[in-house]
Amino acid sequence: MITIYEQHELKKWVLQQKGDKRSIGFVPTMGYLHEGHLSLIKKAKEENDAVIVSIFVNPLQFGPNEDFDRYPRDIERDSRLAQEAGADLLFHPSVEVMYPFEPAVTVKVNRRADVLCGSSRIGHFDGVATVVAKLFHLTEPSRAYFGLKDAQQVAVIEAMTGDLNFPVEIVPCDTVREQDGLAKSSRNVFLTDEEREEAKVIYASLTEVKDLLLSGVNPLSAKEKLEELLKKKLTGTVDYAEILSYPELKEPSSDSTRLIAAAAVKYSKARLIDNVLIELTPDGKKEVENHV
């Protein structure tokens, strides 16, 4: 694996791969890699001739009071893990390389961004879409891999890719979980022992509500049950507990064929998100697997 820090060096490498007619799989990350990220890299390796992993903590997607400076960073560890998982190139630019000047143009997300995480993180998905658009242009991937732990991000990126005609296939990948169900996250390191033990309740509550939806309970009642379960069992602050259509992220209707049950919980030093997806079919209802 080689490590590149500059845009022109990355473009030169990509041009060589294209000249050799090699497909490129791309895994964008903010670093502090865990098993979830590594599963994306391994899948990209299985499906492409070459794999690029980016590590960049993007300031555009952090609000004024969020944890940009505190976000965990360990590039030596990340480099080793990315190489072991099968990455061929690690792109690790500085903020100055990605944004040498204040951007004159950014991407504005008009739909799918004003609910769930977007309702309290104003401008967050504009920052996500802007940096992903830049990275798509730099890496020119055949396929790009995103974890479904942040299913809202996947929905936004899928919409941006289609609307702006990026020639890249978006590959959503299952959430990777701890044995007790907690979704793997770089921010889990900020949980106290007590918070870490309690956090498993988030996925357990989502699973219970999923079962209610599969049994025919209407989404409004299921949402009320999810709120009740989380507030009763958690000491953290429930940021949201929602049942929405997916990927539209709107209030469900009788025509909705796919739903997302999603939650976010704030602890002392970490904000955790999780979700499950449920597909409604003409022959009945079945869960869309969102964990391994």
Residues annotated as binding site for beta-alanine?
A: 61
| Edge-to-edge strand ranges of the sheet holding 258-266 | 237-245, 258-266, 271-281, 284-288
**H or E stretch including 16?**
helix 7-19
6's tokens: 């500059």
- In this structure, which amino acid lies at residue 70? R
| Cα separation, 242 vs 112, whole angstroms | 14
Helix (H, G, I), strand (E, B) or coil at 95: helix
Annotated binding site: 30-37, 61, 147-150, 153, 176, 184-187
Annotated binding site for ATP: 30-37, 147-150, 176, 184-187
| Cα separation, 196 vs 267, whole angstroms | 10
| Cα separation, 117 vs 263, whole angstroms | 9
Which positions are annotated as active-site residues?
37
| Cα separation, 65 vs 266, whole angstroms | 14
8 A C-beta contact, residue 239 and residue 258? no
For residue 247, is the peptide bond before it cis, meaning its omega torsion is within 30 degrees of 0? yes
